[in-house]
A and B are shown apart, each in its own frame.
Chain A
Amino acid sequence: MPILDQGYQHWDGKLAGHAFRWLAITRQGVKAQFKNRWLVSTLVGALAPALLLAGFLILWGLFEQQATVLEPFLFLFQGLPDEVRHGPKGFRTTFWTLAFTLFFRVQTFFAFVLVMLVGPDLISQDLRFNALPLYLSRPLRRVDYFLGKLGVIATFLLGIMLIPAILAYLIGLAFSMDPAVLPQTWRVLAASAAYGAILAASTGLLMLALSSLSRNSRFVTAIWVGLWMLGGAAADASRRTPAREWAPLASYPADLASVRDALFDYDAQWDRLADVFRKGREAMQDAAGFGGRPRRPRIFGIPFGPPPPRDGLGPPEPPSPPGLTNADPARPPWPWAAGVLAGLGVASAVVLSTRVRSLDRLK
């Protein structure tokens, strides 16, 4: 019986161009991350807010059309002011904006956890196992290497933020049955895309820079957690100083929140809703003739906002929608927060450039 030893065979396939070479790094990185059970659990958990967002947009669309299918659930809307109940289309932009803002607020937490799970190994392990000569001696530039690694983080973040937001938006479009919805809510979609991109780029660059600082990924994880927590603590501590207005700038999550709210025009939409609720409360108080205690406003049957004063004579306060507050202390204008994020990005790029050297300077 002949023994067939093929040994080395020549390969005459076609090699791809250089433009998307970084995708190979991203693909390999994403594939490798799925071995982590914690990561998979976090991804599954991050689906819940997306489902809730989609569910809200479906309910809102049906509510706008006063759909009969919604009749058993109309009690959920009893707490809304008459102005909203009788003309929900006029408040579409406001409610969509608040819903998407709440979604991104929750997803930012999941993003923090995901970056913590995905990011620390990305460069620190390459430094530990001296993988850079293997990368850079192939047809890759340093920028391809960075893009590939950034792509791993961006893939997961966009997967839990941008893609669900777009899908929810499309579902909202489908259930609104109104061509006016696009011109009214385009800003929500644009802000979602912009915030998703900013969050992915900012956290990705920052984590890559941290990952390049140590060959031990546990240290990197600790620095990342510390950055989020200590930044917030420093901001809280600074609020007791005369420069309290600028204190939020010390907190990385607060800077992200400031930029997010500016992109969604959250403050203006919130003020509008608060105004409507204030008028609604005043109407309730007038109707009650201050003789009885007015009920708390409700959305979907859930009371929210501070309880009305017992004597019914106190100044009316606008309620807070669930999960949202308008009680943020004074914060600096959002361009300052954007400036801090940009500065962190530049600093991260400098750290990366210093720590991940070309073979010209590698031993």
Chain B
Amino acid sequence: MLIELEELTKTYGAVTALAGLSVALPGGAMGLLGPNGAGKTTMIRSLLGLIRIDSGRGRVLGMDIERQALEIRQAVGFVPEDECLFPGVTGVQFVAYAGELVGMPSRDALRRSHEMLDYVGLGEARYRRVESYSTGMKQRLKIAAGIVHDPKLLILDEPTNGMDPAGREEILALCRDLAGAKGMNLLISSHLLPDVEAVCEYVVVLGRGRLLAQGRIADLKRPHDGEFELRVRGDQEAFARILADRGVKADPVDDRLRIALPAGEGVASLWEAAEDSSEQIRMLRPRRSTLEEVFLNAVGGAG
């Protein structure tokens, strides 16, 4: 396992940030979901050995989070959520400095800095002072600084926060490329479900410092027995009324109908209804949960 946490507990005074959290993450692109105050940031800080945990234990890349914190931070890249900069430097100096701080030789750090700025699309702005960068550029700069030493694991805390749609898509594309084409393990903390779904294959849902759900997104979005999504060529609502007359529940959702068959009925009844009403079925598939439903069910169940 890439990350293993066992019964991790962390309190801040009367507030329990992590309450016996146990998680095992296999690697790849992993999403960390949870409402505000769920413990996502505390979990990330625990993984990096930045906070002293009250009890429990954990390992990241096989290293103990309490005893090998510096080694973990050397092997892991971290992109913090807040807007933070090394002041008074150009883009290329910023990334090179970040590399030197993890122990890279100066020459290698400078060379990698140029490569990383090209990779994240900041090649043209490399000699501009970082204070003049836009929000999106600063975010890409932080990613370049996070990957300059080629970490085995990159942790991104709310990487698309406060970004416009185009900038957000660029960041997600970068993350997809890093995880997919470059083989880097990613842990993305976000409260934006589409972002996590766009990049990750594995997800962890936290709530009130506890694990609410975890697993492969494809598995969590399970098919529902007797429920289908259906689209017809003609009037959706008219066909929904026809199905209702036959005892089939059909609710219009976007450009299709969400069908719930009565117990014991099969899809044949849908085809019969279409034939009887001279309607053409253009799409028929089993309904699967969306990630939003998975998230709401998990959080709602915990509540």
Q: Give A residues with C-beta under 8 Å from B.
A: 6-13, 15-18, 21, 24-25, 27-28, 32, 121, 125-126, 128-141, 358-360, 363
Stretch in B44-52, B253-261, B262-270, B274-282 touching the partner: B44-52
On whether the beta carbons of A139 and B74 are closer than 8 Å, the reply is yes
Enumerate 20 A-B pairs (CB-CB under 8 Å) in ascending A order.
A8-B116, A8-B147, A8-B181, A10-B150, A11-B149, A15-B102, A18-B70, A25-B101, A32-B88, A32-B89, A130-B82, A130-B84, A131-B86, A133-B80, A134-B80, A137-B50, A138-B78, A138-B98, A138-B101, A141-B70
On whether the beta carbons of B85 and A130 are closer than 8 Å, the reply is yes
* Smallest CB-CB A-B distances: 9 pairs: A15-B103, A16-B103, A11-B150, A130-B84, A24-B100, A359-B50, A129-B87, A125-B87, A139-B74
On whether the beta carbons of B119 and A360 are closer than 8 Å, the reply is no
A-B contacts counted at CB < 8 A amount to 108
On whether the beta carbons of A11 and B108 are closer than 8 Å, the reply is yes
Q: Is B83 in the interface zone, CB < 8 Å from A?
A: yes
| Contact partners of A13 in chain B: CB under 8 A | 104-105, 108
Bound complex: CA A363 to CA B74 (Å): 22
Query: When each residue 99-123 of chain B gets 1 if its CB lies under 8 Å from chain A and 0 otherwise, what string results?
Result: 0111111101000100110010000
Bound complex: CA A15 to CA B109 (Å): 10
| Contact partners of B74 in chain A: CB under 8 A | 15, 18, 138-139
Bound complex: CA A43 to CA B164 (Å): 48
On whether the beta carbons of B78 and A137 are closer than 8 Å, the reply is yes
**Taking A8-B182, A13-B108 as contacts, is the C-beta distance between A135 and B103 under 8 angstroms?**
no
| Contact partners of B178 in chain A: CB under 8 A | 8
| Contact partners of A18 in chain B: CB under 8 A | 70, 74, 103
| Contact partners of B87 in chain A: CB under 8 A | 121, 125-126, 128-129, 131
Could you tell me the distance in whole angstroms from the C-beta of A333 to the nearest C-beta in chain B? Answer: 44
On whether the beta carbons of A133 and B100 are closer than 8 Å, the reply is no
On whether the beta carbons of A358 and B88 are closer than 8 Å, the reply is no
On whether the beta carbons of B88 and A125 are closer than 8 Å, the reply is yes
Query: When each residue 116-153 of chain B gets 1 if its CB lies under 8 Å from chain A and 0 otherwise, what string results?
Result: 10010000000000010000000000000101011000
Chain A residue with minimal CB distance to B145?
Answer: A134
Bound complex: CA A123 to CA B193 (Å): 38
| Contact partners of B105 in chain A: CB under 8 A | 13, 16
Could you tell me the distance in whole angstroms from the C-beta of A16 to the nearest C-beta in chain B? Answer: 4
Could you tell me the distance in whole angstroms from the C-beta of B24 to the nearest C-beta in chain A? Answer: 24
On whether the beta carbons of A134 and B45 are closer than 8 Å, the reply is no
Q: Which of B97, B108, B147 has the most CB of A within 10 A?
A: B97
Chain B residue with minimal CB distance to A134?
Answer: B84
| Contact partners of B80 in chain A: CB under 8 A | 133-134, 137
On whether the beta carbons of B85 and A131 are closer than 8 Å, the reply is yes
| Contact partners of B169 in chain A: CB under 8 A | none
